[in-house]
Amino acid sequence: MSRKLLIDIHTHLYLPRYAQLLRARSQIPRITTLNGEERLVILAGEAATGRPVGPSYWDRDAKLRFMDTHGIAISIVSPANPWLDFLPPAPALQTCEALNSDLEEYCATSPEVELGGRRRKRLYGMGYLPVVPGQEVGGVCAAVEALGKLPHIKGVILGTQGLGKGLDDPALLPMWESIAKAGLVVFLHPHYGMPPEVWGAQENGHVLPLALGFPFETTTAVARLILTGILDKLPALKLLLAHSGGALPVLSSRLASCIAHDPVAASRLAHDARYYLGRMWYDAVAYGPEELAFVVPTRGTDRLLCGTDHPFFPPLKGEEMWMSVTENLDAVENAPGWSEGEKEGVRGGNAVELFGL
Ligand code: 5CU
């Protein structure tokens, strides 16, 4: 494994206050107890027994140990799904403020590391937004403004439900404007996948919702967002896409061509769809060098950044090194035709640039 600078921009947590919230619930999302063991149940269609959950989700020392084991110098942590999506508007606002304050504290009191001759924290964060059905967009903008004042918060994590009508809802324009103004990175992340019935009756565990449902959700949400023309209106908006942008890199020319053949959609955009995809950033959580190569031709390696998806995908046999991490690092190492400098950028340099570390 490389000993060069490694920064993890896709790594999650449930803050202790959030875990408590899930423990108090009797419906999904929830943390329940089965035979004395805590279990996490968050996905639609997931068995009521869920999967094991423990300190790797909320304990900062566990996060730092994981980072040390895998040679990660700095992590930009983001709350794991489903964020505040299930709360009514007023509790979402209050909980958002409290959790973002917890997240700032979590990062501000983390150990330091030297980076380019300067001392840096090992943990920075991307915070919550109270984007839930029925919320006034003004409340969301106020949360963005508050986040922009927290010194260790570098962005926001955003799901796809919006205020109930998705991210292409015109009512969200003030939110995008305030995020761009605050200079925060938007980490777009899936949660809902596809309707459970598309996966059929055979029991396949989490395989299909995670392998296909998550990336398809991102693909659809981002295509819809592009089609609003938001990136023409807000050139400063920084969008970072989870799981290497889902299917978008491989569908980009098809999307561009379908738009070019549709007078209504085409008239809304100043550029070809590939231009907008080239304006976004992508995590390198694709698990294979060939798949990373799909992301690169139009995007360039300077828009790819390493991620682990910790604490999800733990090793089944408790191995110290997580396969979900080493597979992604090997993919960068073996990406066809990349120079050493480009690989170093993907491992850490591009994150320094994007997040202003
Ligand atoms: O394994 C999972 O369910 C997940 C999840 O919910 N969120 C995520 O980011 N990765 C894996």
pLDDT digits (tens, 9 = 90+) for 25-76: 999 999 999 999 999 999 988 888 899 999 999 999 999 999 999 999 999 9
Is residue 2 over pLDDT 50?
no
Cα(249)–Cα(278) distance, rounded to whole angstroms? 10
Q: Which protein residues touch ligand 1 with a CB less than 6 Å away? A: 12, 42-43, 80-81, 206, 210, 309, 312
Ligand 1 atom nearest the C-alpha of 46 is: 3
Cα 32 to Cα 48, 52, 143: the distances in Å are 9, 10, 30
Helix, strand and coil content of the chain, in percent to the nearest 5, comes to 45, 15, 35
Pocket test of ligand 1: the residue of 10, 39, 81 to mutate, having most ligand atoms within 8 Å of its CB, is 81
Higher per-residue pLDDT: 106 or 294: 106
Give the percent of the chain with pLDDT over 70: 98
Q: Identify which of 77, 309, 310 to mutate to test ligand 1's pocket (most ligand atoms within 8 A of the CB).
A: 309
Q: How far is ligand 1, taken at its centre, from the CA of residue 179, in Å?
A: 25
Q: Give me 53's structure tokens.
A: 């959950």
Residue nearest to atom 4 of ligand 1 (CA): 312
Q: What is the pLDDT of residues 93-122, one digit of tens each?
A: 999 999 999 999 999 999 999 998 999 999
Residue with tokens 């591009």: 350
- Ligand 1: centre distance to CA 37 (Å): 19
Domain segments of the chain as ranges:
1-81+307-357
Q: How far apart are CA 175 and CA 38, in angstroms?
A: 36
Q: How far is the CA of 58 from the centre of ligand 1 (A)?
A: 15
Q: Which tens digits make up the pLDDT trace of 258-279?
A: 999 999 999 999 999 999 999 9
User: For position 299, what pLDDT does the model report?
Assistant: 59
What is residue 6's predicted lDDT score, i.e. its pLDDT?
A: 97
Give the whole-angstrom CA distance, residue 153 versus residue 252. Answer: 31
pLDDT tens digits, one per residue of 177-220? 999 999 999 999 999 999 989 999 999 989 999 999 999 999 99
Assign residue 229 a region (left: φ > 0; alpha: ψ between -120 and 50; beta: otherwise). Answer: left
> What letter would DSSP give residue 348?
I
Question: How far does residue 331's CA lie from ligand 1's centre (Å)?
Answer: 20
Q: What percent of the chain has pLDDT over 90?
A: 93
116: left (phi over 0), alpha (psi -120 to 50) or beta: left
| Cα 312 to averaged position of ligand 1 atoms, centre (Å) | 6
Orientation angle between helical segments 89-108 and 16-23, nearest 10 degrees: 140
Token output for 291: 């798949």
pLDDT given for residue 1 in this prediction: 42
pLDDT score at 105: 98
At 115 the pLDDT is 92
pLDDT of residue 297: 62
Question: Per-residue pLDDT for 298 more than 60?
Answer: no
Top mutation candidate among 214, 218, 316, 322 for ligand 1, by most atoms within 8 Å of CB = 214
Kindly give, in sequence order, each residue whose CB lies less than 8 Å from that of residue 64, ignoring residues fewer than 6 positions away. 110, 111, 122, 123
